[in-house]
Amino acid sequence: MITLQRCGNGVVLAFTDAEWDVGDVFEEEVALVRDAVPSRRAEFLTVRHCARQALHAIGHGRRAILPGSDRAPMWPDDVHGSLTHCHGMRAAAVVSADHARSVGLDAEPWEPIPGDILDLVASPEEQDRLGARFLSGVGGRLIFSAKEAAFKAMHTLGTTAMEPHELFVDLDAASIAVDLSSNGSFVVTHVDTGLRVCGVWDQRSDTLMTFVRVPAEPLPSRIAG
């Protein structure tokens, strides 16, 4: 079953914990994953079924959601959206371009990331700021997920080909006490350009969800100071 949620600011989220829920498929989509392993077929088609439900909720008709040459999904001209999938979660977020310039959504298992990956994800500055205790728990996963959501949102704005250390994540104080709370907010800054995006995170069952929305009004191009 797909759940629809209106998240404010015109954003609609559609998600399911079903591995395979494809009431609604397009031949062009099926063709793209015909030779893929079953798990990839299931996530690719199910998340698009979610996306169509979300698009319907903001007034758009049925359509195939095909990947562009950069793999990013192609949305109707006046819509921004983002897709994500992991074990136990397939989710799509969409918003009319009147309400946002871009969105990015990511889902990850609610569990620590392996220690050897942590150095790739978190820069020395982030490790100093957030501390080993925080990063060795789900906190490290939160930093990874916030960067994935920010990457997707920034890609729509034209910032491409990013390495994780090019992004700096800052969290609100409650989020840093991640073992004590289950939602919060974050800011991700692209270190070279100063582009800054804001997001929220939430625990849903065994899944960590992060979501970035870039408002329709212009962004500051560089952080003061």
Ligand X SMILES: CC(C)(COP(=O)(O)OP(=O)(O)OC[C@H]1O[C@@H](n2cnc3c(N)ncnc32)[C@H](O)[C@@H]1OP(=O)(O)O)[C@@H](O)C(=O)NCCC(=O)NCCS
**Interface residues with ligand X (CB under 6 A)?**
43-44, 47, 67, 70-73, 83-85, 106, 121, 144, 147-148, 151-152, 155, 162-164
To ligand X, the closest distance from the beta carbon of 71 in angstroms equals: 4
Max CA-CA distance within the chain? 52
| 83 membership: H or E segment, kind and range | strand 79-86
- From CA 218, how far away is CA 221, in angstroms rounded? 9
Question: Considering beta carbons, is residue 70 or 224 the nearer one to ligand X?
Answer: 70
Give the C-alpha distances (Å, rounded to integers) separating 52 from 38, 133, 172: 21, 41, 33
Q: Strands 207-215, 100-109: parallel, antiparallel or unpaired by DSSP?
A: antiparallel
**How many residues would you count in the chain?**
225
To ligand X, the closest distance from the beta carbon of 224 in angstroms equals: 25
Question: Considering beta carbons, is residue 158 or 225 the nearer one to ligand X?
Answer: 158
Question: Considering beta carbons, is residue 118 or 178 the nearer one to ligand X?
Answer: 118
Question: Considering beta carbons, is residue 8 or 68 the nearer one to ligand X?
Answer: 68
To ligand X, the closest distance from the beta carbon of 34 in angstroms equals: 14
- From CA 55, how far away is CA 48, in angstroms rounded? 10
Residue 64 in contact with residue 29, Cβ under 8 Å? yes
To ligand X, the closest distance from the beta carbon of 102 in angstroms equals: 9
